[in-house]
Amino acid sequence: MHKKDIIQLLLGKYYLHAPQHEQATAFAPTNIALCKYWGKRDTELNLPVTSSLSISLGNKGASTTLRLLSEAEDVLILNGSPLETTTRFGKRVVEFLDLFRIQQQPSLRIDINMNIPLAAGLASSACGFASLVAALNKLYGWGLSLQDLSILARLGSGSASRSFWSGFVEWHAGIQADGMDSYSEPFSAAWPELCIGLHVVSHEAKPIPSREAMQRTRETSVLYRSWPEQVQRDLLAIKQAINQQDISALGAAAETNALAMHATMLSAWPPISYSLPATTAAMHAIWQLRSAGLVVYFTQDAGPNLKLLFLKKDIELLSKHFPSLEIIAL
Ligand code: 2P0
């Protein structure tokens, strides 16, 4: 199955219709996975091997404006500066838009503004593709449900399927070959005491894009065989912890899940490590603080920076130990 088949299924009679408006804008929050998505059962449709669960980062995310152009070529603007459509991200955006157009027409001005700390390992493709899909829905007047938008955004980037809601969101892996059962939905109401802090250890670019890294892991890592089982266990524990608002249970399951994901990468060949010495040092500092009684845990994505999980009441103490910690309002 190809992306276009799925789009045709979802849009029905609106498939390849002309836009209904001159311009449209939409915002999508970015999200951090507490139980990670790592590995695909279908690389064309971005269908995951396992389900995953994330938390959205409040008003941190991407706002995308689409405007019809009379010129022949698309114009892409990222955070106010032109971005060549030949760059990795630019190419992905234009190729995605082409799925909804005939011979790249109508051409569009695509303005994407992200208010997330740049290069800090916050999922920019997640909020980028989710806001793009939400803006397309408005521009073309499709009137799709959030569930259908979640499926469409997944075709652009897997983690984007989780970026249509605030609070906790679960992405169901699904079992169908067409992926119509692989969408996200809100899991539960927010947890006002919960905090996420961003501990940046490096702004360096990733050694390998996560798309390639997860594929290599799936193909070469012996440890990856145990990943689906690990996720099953962690997902259950994380849901229970959210329901009971139990930070220790949530932190333990999320930290274990992140470390297990990175362990599958270390056992891939060639090996993949997103950690830097400062990442490992920060982990040890967190473990030490925890054994001294401070309730703090971490999660790590496809980059060297850590996201700390803790409660509001400990903000002051944590800021003392991590003075540059950026605390994100959820
Ligand atoms: C996640 N990550 O669940 C995991 C944890 C990174 C580590 O989803 O190929 O950019 O576009 O589907 O969504 C990053 O992968 O990959 C990611 P594609 P995506 O947040």
SS3 at position 10: helix
Output the pLDDT for position 84: 94
Same domain, 61 and 175: yes
The CA distance from 97 to 136, in Å, is: 9
Ligand 1: distance of its center to the CA of 48 in Å? Answer: 10
- Show which of 152, 186, 220 is a domain's final residue: 186
Ligand 1: distance of its center to the CA of 313 in Å? Answer: 31
Nearest alpha carbon, ligand 1 atom 9: 211
CA-37 nearest atom, ligand 1:
3
Is the CB of residue 313 less than 8 Å from the CB of residue 272? no
Longest dimension (CA), the chain: 63
Output the pLDDT for position 4: 97
The CA distance from 60 to 66, in Å, is: 20
By CB atoms closer than 10 A (0-12, 13-18, 19+), residue 88 is exposed
Same domain, 154 and 175: yes
Ligand 1: distance of its center to the CA of 32 in Å? Answer: 10
Same domain, 251 and 216: yes
Ligand 1: distance of its center to the CA of 37 in Å? Answer: 6
SS3 at position 174: coil
> 222-244 pLDDT, tens per residue?
999 999 999 999 999 999 999 99
Q: How confident is the model at residue 268 (pLDDT cuts 50, 70, 90)?
A: very high
Token pair belonging to 256: 């274990």
Ligand 1: distance of its center to the CA of 177 in Å? Answer: 20
Output the pLDDT for position 266: 98
Ligand 1: distance of its center to the CA of 43 in Å? Answer: 12
Is the CB of residue 217 less than 8 Å from the CB of residue 268? yes
Is the CB of residue 313 less than 8 Å from the CB of residue 306? no
Bridge partners of residue 186, in order along the sequence? 169
CATH of the domain at 108: 3.30.230.10
Output the pLDDT for position 119: 54
Same domain, 69 and 172: yes
Is the CB of residue 55 less than 8 Å from the CB of residue 196? yes
Question: DSSP readout, 17-85?
Answer: PPPSSSEEEEEEEEEEEEE----EEETTTTEESS-EEEEEEEEEEEEEEEEE-SSSS-EEEETTEE--T
Q: What number is the average pLDDT over the span 148-167?
A: 98
Output the pLDDT for position 118: 57
Identify the CA nearest to 51 among candidates 297, 239, 313: 239
Write b or e for each residue in 102-127: b if 16 or more Cβ atoms lie within 10 A of its Cβ, otherwise e: eeeebbbebbbbbebeeebbbbbbbb
Same domain, 171 and 218: no
Q: What number is the average pLDDT over the span 244-268?
A: 98
Residues of the domain holding 35: 3-186
Of 11-15, 63-67, 119-123, 291-295, the range with the lowest mean pLDDT is: 119-123
Q: What number is the average pLDDT over the span 11-38?
A: 96
Same domain, 13 and 71: yes
Which position has the token pair 């067409």?
178
Bridge partners of residue 48, in order along the sequence? 40
- Show which of 145, 162, 186 is a domain's final residue: 186
CA-129 nearest atom, ligand 1:
11
Same domain, 216 and 84: no
Identify the CA nearest to 200 among candidates 285, 327, 304: 304
- Ligand 1 pocket by Cβ (under 6 Å): 33, 36-38, 46, 52, 123, 125, 157-159, 210-211, 301-302
SS3 at position 165: coil
What's the number of domains the chain is made of?
2
CA-159 nearest atom, ligand 1:
13
Identify the CA nearest to 232 among candidates 56, 41, 53: 53
Same domain, 139 and 163: yes
Ligand 1: distance of its center to the CA of 98 in Å? Answer: 22
Query: Model's pTM, two decimal places?
Result: 0.96
SS3 at position 249: helix
Same domain, 113 and 238: no
- Which of the listed residues 152, 214, 298 should we mutate to test ligand 1's pocket, taking the one with most ligand atoms within 8 A of CB? 214
SS3 at position 309: strand
CATH of the domain at 255: 3.30.70.890
Same domain, 122 and 67: yes
Same domain, 154 and 221: no
By CB atoms closer than 10 A (0-12, 13-18, 19+), residue 274 is buried
- Which of the listed residues 44, 125, 183, 210 should we mutate to test ligand 1's pocket, taking the one with most ligand atoms within 8 A of CB? 210
Q: Does pLDDT of 14 surpass 60?
A: yes
Same domain, 290 and 260: yes
Average pLDDT, the chain: 95
> 71-129 pLDDT, tens per residue?
889 999 999 999 999 998 999 999 999 999 999 999 999 999 999 865 556 778 999 99
- Show which of 131, 155, 186 is a domain's final residue: 186
> 284-313 pLDDT, tens per residue?
999 999 999 999 999 999 999 999 999 999
Is the CB of residue 140 less than 8 Å from the CB of residue 22? no
Ligand 1: distance of its center to the CA of 290 in Å? Answer: 28
CA-301 nearest atom, ligand 1:
7
